[in-house]
Structure 1
Amino acid sequence: MANPPQANTKPLRRSAVKPRKTFRELFLHRLPNYNGPYNVGYMDIEVPVRDPRPVSKLRRNGKPVLRLDTILMGIYYPCDLQTSTGAEKPHRVDWMPRPRAATAKGYAKYLHIPALPVTAYLACTSLFTKLPAFRNAKLAAHWPEDICNDSGPTGQKAREEEGDPTSRPKFPVIIFSHGLGGSRLCYSSICGELASFGFVVVAIEHRDGSGARTYVSLPSNVEAAAIESSTAEIHTNNDGKENDAKDKKVQRRRKEGLNPYYVVDYILPKDNAQDTSPHNRRGVDHTLRSAQIELRQEEVKEAFHILNLLNSGHGDDVASLNLRKKGNVASSSVGLNGVNWEDWKGSMFLNNVTMMGHSFGGATTVQICRDHTLEWIGQGVILDAWGQATPPAGENRKERIAKPLISISSEVFMHWKDNFDKVVEFSDEARESGALCWMLTIVGSTHLAMTDLAVLYPQWMSILMKSMVNPTRAISLTITASLEFLKIVLPPEQTKYNMWADEQLLQSAEQPPEPTEPLRTDHAPDHKWVAVRLKIPNEFSVRLKAWFRRTWRFVICAGREVADLAHGLHDFGEQEEIWTHMCPTHEKVEEYMNQFR
C-alpha cells in the first residue's frame, strides 16, 4: 500500500501561462493577455428560469415586449491549465458570439449600416479573434505562486492551506451588466482581467432588447408558438409554425429535432429612436428603459440562484438543464463537457457580491444597489454610467443606495453636463447614507474605452472619437481603481491572499471640493459632439509629436514589447491620468476598515 502524502509536502506551484498566439493574431486584431497571477477559464451557461413569464406591463401591438425565459451568462474564473493535458486540454474562446456571421448582421442592424460591409470588415479583423481564456478549464485549486513563496506570515498561512488536501481557495464574485449593443463577451478585457486576479466574474447577456442580437434557446418541452412577444423572432421545429418554412437552417433543425429558439435584436424606443442622444428634446424613453432595468434585475437574481446551485454542489443539475450544448443555436460544440462540478462546490463567497456594469449596465448597477432585498449585494462598481436612464431614487430610505460605491467615468461623458449631474446625484445618494463613495474620471478617454472595441480598434477610437488615452492603459486604470476599491470594502476573508494591482489611486486622493463642474474643459467637444468624442487642440501637431515619441521609444526598446506605448496621444508620466471628483476622507476609510478587524 502506498504511503499517504505527508501534510508538510510542498505543493506544486502553478503560475499563469501566456496563451500562444494563433496564426491570425500575428497579423490581425487580438486581445492582450491578462496580467494577474491566474490563467482564466470560461464557460457558457444558459438554463430555464424558475418562472418563465413576460416582465413589466410594457406592450406593443397587444403583446408583451419583454420576456424572461432563460438566463444566459458567461463565467470568467481563475483556472489551472497545468492539470489539463493532451486531448483534454481546453481551447480558447471565440470573441464574437455564435453564430458569428448572424451576430455581425445584428451589429450592422444596431448601427444602421448595411450588413455586407460590416460582416466583411469584421471577418477581416476580429470575427475570428479569440479570448486569452480557456473554455471549461479546471477551476484553480491553488493560491498564486508569489504568495506561497512569500516568507512572511501570509505566505506561511497560504502554504499551510494549500498543503491541506481538505482546503481549497474560495473566490469573491462579481456580476457584470453590459451596456447598449453589448454582450457577455464584449467586455472580456475587464471580466477576464478581474478573473486573472482571483475573482469569479459572471457576465450576463441581457435579453431585454439592449444588445445588438441575442439568441434565446428554449427547452424541448416548451411550446414556442405559444410564446407571446412583439419583438422576439420565433423559430420552432413544428411543421407550419416557422417564420420562414423555406429557411434551410430551420428545416435542418426540424429534421434533427433540436430545441426551438427565438432571436431578440435591439429594441428601438417607440417614436423616439435617438433617446440616447444628449440633443434629443424628448429625452430618455423611461417607459422602455425602466422596463428593461426591471428585466435586468430579474436576470441578476436568476444568475445568483445558479451560482448558489454551483456553490452548494448541484453543478450536475445545472449542467443537465444547460441549453448551450452541441447542436443548439449559438452554442459551442463543447457545451459544458469536461467541467468537474465537484471543484465548484464551496468555491465562491456568495456574501458581499459586487455588482458591476458599464453605461446602461451602470444604470442597472445603481438600481440593484438600491434594492435592499438583495442582501447578498455588498457594493457597486459603476463604469461610465448612462445617468439619464437611471430611474429616480425613491423617497423611502429603503429605496436609496446605502452600499459602498465607486463611479469611474470617461472624460467624454464628464463633459455631458446633464449626465455628469446625474452621476453626482446618485453618488451623493450613497454618500448621504454614510457609505463610502468615490467618483473618478479617466483623462482623455471616451465611452468605449472600457470595452473590447477600444482594444481591438484603437486607431478608429482615436480618429473618430478623438480618444487620447492608450486603450490598454484605460482598461488598466479601470481595473486598478476597482481592485483598490474592493480591497477596502470587501471582508478580509475575501482579500487575505490577494495579488491585486495597487497604484494607490484611491488612497492618495484628497477630498476635492464639491463636484459641481468638470475639472477641466480644454478637451470639451463642440456642442454637436457632446458625449460622442473629445476635442484635441492643435490636433495635427499633437499627433505628430505622439508618433515621434512612440517611434523613438520603440527604437530605444530595441524590439521589445511596446504595446503599452502605442495608440496613446499622451505621455501619462507628464500629466494626471485620473481626476477625482468625490472621495471619502482617509479617516472614514480607516473607520470602515476597522469594523472588519
Structure 2
Amino acid sequence: MRLPEGHPTLGGDQTGEVPNAKQPKYRPPRGWRDKVLFPGRSLPLYTGPYPVATMEIEVPVEKPQVFSHIKRDHRHMLQLETILMTVYYPTNHSDYNSLNHNLRFSRELWLGRPRHRIAEGYGRFAGVGKLAIPVFLPAMFTKLPAYRNAPIATHWAPPVDTKAGGIEVKTQAGSRPDGASAEPVFPLLLFSHGLGGTRTMYSSVCGEFASLGFVVCAIEHRDGSGARSYVNHSESGEGGMEDREQRGGIDHRSEERSKGYDIIDYLFPKDNPIDTSPNNDKGVDKELRDAQIALRMAEIEEAYGVMRQVVKGDGKLVAERNLRRKGFKGSSSHGLEGVDWSRWRDRVRLDYVTAAGHSFGAATVVEMLRHDDRFDYVAQGIIYDIWGAGTRPPDEESPRHRIHAPLLAINSETFTYWRSNFELVEALVKEAQDDPESSPSWLLTLRGTVHISQSDFSLMYPHVCSLFLKVVANPRRALDLNINASLEFLSQVLPKEIAQVNRAYQDENILESELSPLDRIPPSQLRKPDDAYIAVRLKIRHEWFYRMSPQLLRRFRRMQNRRKGRPPETGDEVWLHTKPTKESIDQHMRSLEGKSDVQQEKYDQAMPKAQDHAKHDS
C-alpha cells in the first residue's frame, strides 16, 4: 500500500536511513534539569526540527451548563464553567538561543500547581491517598521541554529530525515547498486525555507532534475523569460565578464562593467504583460515562472556539479573560505575558482537524467522529488504547451518526488481550470502513506495551512499569512507534497542502506491515497474563532470565528457533490487524481534491467575525 501518485512524502526521502527498528530516536539532554544528577524526573527532548512552546489558557466558556442530574452533597457534579488547556506549538528557530537563556520564557510544570495537592489527587484516584506524595516528589521538579509563551514559528523547518541532523537542526530553517505560502500554516490536533489524566500527562505525544509541525490543543477535562483539577472564577461580570449561575444553572458552595475556585476530583461511580475493570461484574456506569462524554464534547467545542478566536486575530481578548495568571489558583505568574498574538493570525488550519485521544479520551473521539454534523471541522481520528466499555454504541436509528472518517486505532498489548474490548475496536474500524462512505482505517497493536505506555508515566517511571506492569518495550521506542504510525496515517489522509507542513516524516512502513490476525499469532509471541491481570499487565516468560539480560534472552530464543527449524519471528514490535486497500485510500484522496478551499470559505462564513467577539466581550 503506497501513497497516491502526487501526494507529498513529507521529506521522508530526505531524512537519511530509516532509524534502527529497535532503537529509539536520538533525544539528547538539553540542560541541567535533564541530567541524571538532578533530584527529579525528566522528560525527553522532542525529536522534530521545531523547538516547542506552550501556552496555558483557562477562560470562561461561552455556554455554561449542567450535564445530567448526578449530584453529590446536594451539588451537581458535572458542570461546564471554564475551559482549561495547554497549547503545544512550533516556535521559531531564530529565537532558539534566546529562548534557552531568557528567563522570560520559563517552562510549564508537568505536575501542575499546587504540586502536593495534585499529587494528593492522584493518590485519591489510585486509592492510596497522601501516600502518593512521596512517589510524586521527584516529578514535582519536572518541567516540560518546551518554552512558555514563545513566538509561534514563522519558518519552514528543514526536512530532518534530531536523529538525522543533530540538535542543531532546531536552529536551522528549511526551504519553502513549491507553491506553499511564505510562512507555514500549521494543522490543528485536538487531544483528549483518559481517566486520571490531565492536559500535561501526554506532553510527550503532544510535544512530539508540535516539534513536527502541528499545533496541539490538549484539553483538561473537568468531568470528574481527571485526578484533580482547579476551576477558577472571575470576581464579577460576564463569566463570573453569578453570571454562570444565572445563565447555566450552575451551583456553588459557600466555600467555593469565598475561595474563588472549585476543586474537581475523580468522580467514582456510586456503588460501583471500579467500573473500569474487565472483571467488574456490575458493568460500566453508563449514566455517568455518557454524561461525561457529553460534557467532554462540549469542552472540546469550547476549546476549538478559543483556538478559532486566536487564529482570527482576537488573541488579546483571550489573554484578557485568561484565569491562569497571577492571583488565580494553580497558575503561573507568567500567565500569557509575552505572547505575540499578531503572529497567530491565520497561522493554524481550522479545517481538516485531527481528533486524538487515549482510553476514555479515545471514546470521546469516536463520539465526535459519529457526529460530523456537529464536529464538521474534524476530518480524521486517532484512538490510542480506547476503553471500549466507555464508548457509546452507534445510533442504529440514525445512520448519519456513524463513523464516516479515516480512523487509526493503536492498541497496547495488554488491551489486545482484553477480548471484548478488542472486538469493540475491530467493530469501530469496520464501522469506518463500511459502505457507502468507506474511509481508510487501520488497527494495530504495539507489542510489549501496557495501557499507560502512551502517556508520560512510562517515561517518568520506566522501572516501576517494568517491574510491576511487566512492560517489555523501551518506553521511548514505544513513543516513536505511536508517533510514526500516526504520521504515516496522517500522510495518507490529509490534503497535500496540509500534509506538507510536516517535513521530518520518517516512514517505517508500520501501516504496510504484514497482517497479523490475532488468532493466528504463535503462542510463543504472546504475553497474555492470568485473567486477574487482564488489561493491567503482561506476563514475561523466564522473567528471572529477562531481568538478568533481555538481550541474552532474545539471543537464546533465536537460537532455539533456529535449532527447531522455526522461521524468524515476524511482528517483533507491531501486530497489524487491519488495513485498508490502496483503492480505498485513492478514493479518499480523490474526495479531498478541491474540497479544502470550500471548507475554509465555509468556516469563514459560519464562524462569528472577530469584531463580533470584540463587541461581545466588551
Alignment TM-score > 0.5, same fold? yes
User: C-alpha distance in 1, partners of 2:41/2:571?
Assistant: 29
Give the 5 Å matches for 1:193-204: 193-204=208-219
Q: Which runs of 5+ in 1 are unaligned?
A: 1-15, 239-249, 251-259, 551-571
Secondary structure of the residue aligned to 1:426 is: helix
Please tell me whether residue 108 in structure 1 is matched to residue 123 in structure 2.
yes
Secondary structure of the residue aligned to 2:133 is: helix
* Contact 2:155–2:174 under 8 Å retained in 1: no
- CA deviations 1:435-459 (Å, max 9, x no partner) are 1110010011100100100001001
Give the 5 Å matches for 1:486-497: 486-497=490-501
User: C-alpha distance in 2, partners of 1:357/1:375?
Assistant: 18
Q: For residues 376 and 51 of structure 1, do their structure 2 counterparts lie closer, same or farther at Cα, with a shift above 3 Å needed?
A: same
Equivalence for 1:483: 487
Backbone CA RMSD of aligned residues: 2.9
Equivalence for 1:26: 37
Secondary structure of the residue aligned to 1:132 is: coil
Q: For residues 506 and 538 of structure 1, do their structure 2 counterparts lie closer, same or farther at Cα, with a shift above 3 Å needed?
A: closer
Q: For residues 268 and 234 of structure 1, do their structure 2 counterparts lie closer, same or farther at Cα, with a shift above 3 Å needed?
A: farther
- CA deviations 1:87-129 (Å, max 9, x no partner) are 56512221111111110111111111130x3212321x21111
Q: Out of 423, 426, 429, which is 1:427 matched to?
A: 429
Equivalence for 2:587: 591
User: C-alpha distance in 1, partners of 2:261/2:76?
Assistant: 17
User: C-alpha distance in 1, partners of 2:234/2:189?
Assistant: 28
Q: For residues 498 and 206 of structure 1, do their structure 2 counterparts lie closer, same or farther at Cα, with a shift above 3 Å needed?
A: same
Equivalence for 1:137: 150
Q: For residues 157 and 184 of structure 1, do their structure 2 counterparts lie closer, same or farther at Cα, with a shift above 3 Å needed?
A: closer
Equivalence for 1:119: 133
User: C-alpha distance in 2, partners of 1:217/1:24?
Assistant: 35
* Deviation of the 1:594 alpha carbon: 4.1
* Contact 2:54–2:87 under 8 Å retained in 1: yes
Please tell me whether residue 299 in structure 1 is matched to residue 299 in structure 2.
yes
* Contact 1:63–1:229 under 8 Å retained in 2: no
Q: Out of 173, 183, 204, which is 1:168 matched to?
A: 183
User: C-alpha distance in 1, partners of 2:431/2:450?
Assistant: 26
- Amino acid across the alignment from 1:36: G
* Deviation of the 1:519 alpha carbon: 7.2
Please tell me whether residue 75 in structure 1 is matched to residue 87 in structure 2.
yes
Secondary structure of the residue aligned to 2:426 is: helix
* Contact 1:411–1:446 under 8 Å retained in 2: yes
Q: For residues 234 and 22 of structure 1, do their structure 2 counterparts lie closer, same or farther at Cα, with a shift above 3 Å needed?
A: farther
Equivalence for 1:580: 576
Equivalence for 1:412: 414
Give the 5 Å matches for 1:142-541: 142-146=155-159, 157-158=176-177, 167-221=182-236, 222-223=240-241, 235-236=255-256, 238=258, 260-373=260-373, 374-395=375-396, 396-432=398-434, 433-510=437-514, 522-541=526-545
Q: For residues 156 and 539 of structure 1, do their structure 2 counterparts lie closer, same or farther at Cα, with a shift above 3 Å needed?
A: closer
Secondary structure of the residue aligned to 1:127 is: helix
* Contact 1:225–1:236 under 8 Å retained in 2: no
- Amino acid across the alignment from 2:136: L
* Deviation of the 1:577 alpha carbon: 0.7
User: C-alpha distance in 1, partners of 2:289/2:53?
Assistant: 33
* Deviation of the 1:573 alpha carbon: 10
Q: Out of 63, 67, 83, which is 1:51 matched to?
A: 63
User: C-alpha distance in 2, partners of 1:34/1:189?
Assistant: 7
* Contact 1:224–1:234 under 8 Å retained in 2: no
Indicate the larger mover: 540-549 or 577-586: 540-549
Q: For residues 229 and 469 of structure 1, do their structure 2 counterparts lie closer, same or farther at Cα, with a shift above 3 Å needed?
A: farther
User: C-alpha distance in 2, partners of 1:578/1:17?
Assistant: 26
Equivalence for 1:128: 141
* Deviation of the 1:534 alpha carbon: 0.6
- Amino acid across the alignment from 1:279: N
* Contact 2:29–2:44 under 8 Å retained in 1: no
Secondary structure of the residue aligned to 1:579 is: strand
User: C-alpha distance in 2, partners of 1:156/1:201?
Assistant: 24
* Contact 2:484–2:506 under 8 Å retained in 1: yes
User: C-alpha distance in 1, partners of 2:569/2:506?
Assistant: 17
* Deviation of the 1:495 alpha carbon: 1.3
Q: For residues 232 and 269 of structure 1, do their structure 2 counterparts lie closer, same or farther at Cα, with a shift above 3 Å needed?
A: farther
Indicate the larger mover: 48-57 or 172-181: 48-57
User: C-alpha distance in 2, partners of 1:235/1:171?
Assistant: 43
Secondary structure of the residue aligned to 1:215 is: strand
Secondary structure of the residue aligned to 1:592 is: helix
Equivalence for 1:9: none
User: C-alpha distance in 2, partners of 1:156/1:40?
Assistant: 20
Equivalence for 2:608: none
- Amino acid across the alignment from 1:93: E
The TM-score with structure 1 as length reference comes to 0.83
The TM-score with structure 2 as length reference comes to 0.80
Secondary structure of the residue aligned to 1:137 is: coil
- CA deviations 1:374-410 (Å, max 9, x no partner) are 1101000000000011011001111111110000010
User: C-alpha distance in 2, partners of 1:581/1:234?
Assistant: 54
Aligned residues: 531
* Contact 1:492–1:596 under 8 Å retained in 2: no
* Contact 1:59–1:230 under 8 Å retained in 2: no
* Contact 1:511–1:584 under 8 Å retained in 2: no
- Amino acid across the alignment from 1:509: S
Q: Which runs of 5+ in 2 are unaligned?
A: 1-26, 555-567, 594-618
Q: For residues 119 and 59 of structure 1, do their structure 2 counterparts lie closer, same or farther at Cα, with a shift above 3 Å needed?
A: closer
* Contact 1:31–1:456 under 8 Å retained in 2: yes
- Amino acid across the alignment from 2:366: V
Indicate the larger mover: 183-192 or 86-95: 86-95
- CA deviations 1:279-310 (Å, max 9, x no partner) are 11111111100000000000010011011101
Q: For residues 463 and 144 of structure 1, do their structure 2 counterparts lie closer, same or farther at Cα, with a shift above 3 Å needed?
A: same
- CA deviations 1:338-395 (Å, max 9, x no partner) are 0010011001011010000000101111111111221101000000000011011001
User: C-alpha distance in 2, partners of 1:233/1:574?
Assistant: 59
Q: For residues 538 and 233 of structure 1, do their structure 2 counterparts lie closer, same or farther at Cα, with a shift above 3 Å needed?
A: farther
User: C-alpha distance in 1, partners of 2:141/2:371?
Assistant: 40
Secondary structure of the residue aligned to 2:264 is: strand
* Contact 2:408–2:441 under 8 Å retained in 1: yes
* Deviation of the 1:508 alpha carbon: 2.1
* Contact 1:40–1:77 under 8 Å retained in 2: yes
Q: For residues 36 and 549 of structure 1, do their structure 2 counterparts lie closer, same or farther at Cα, with a shift above 3 Å needed?
A: farther
* Deviation of the 1:66 alpha carbon: 0.3
* Deviation of the 1:575 alpha carbon: 5.6
User: C-alpha distance in 2, partners of 1:101/1:229?
Assistant: 32
Q: For residues 308 and 527 of structure 1, do their structure 2 counterparts lie closer, same or farther at Cα, with a shift above 3 Å needed?
A: same
- Amino acid across the alignment from 1:400: R
Equivalence for 2:559: none
User: C-alpha distance in 2, partners of 1:441/1:23?
Assistant: 31
* Deviation of the 1:17 alpha carbon: 10
* Contact 2:381–2:405 under 8 Å retained in 1: yes
* Contact 1:63–1:230 under 8 Å retained in 2: no
Secondary structure of the residue aligned to 2:145 is: strand
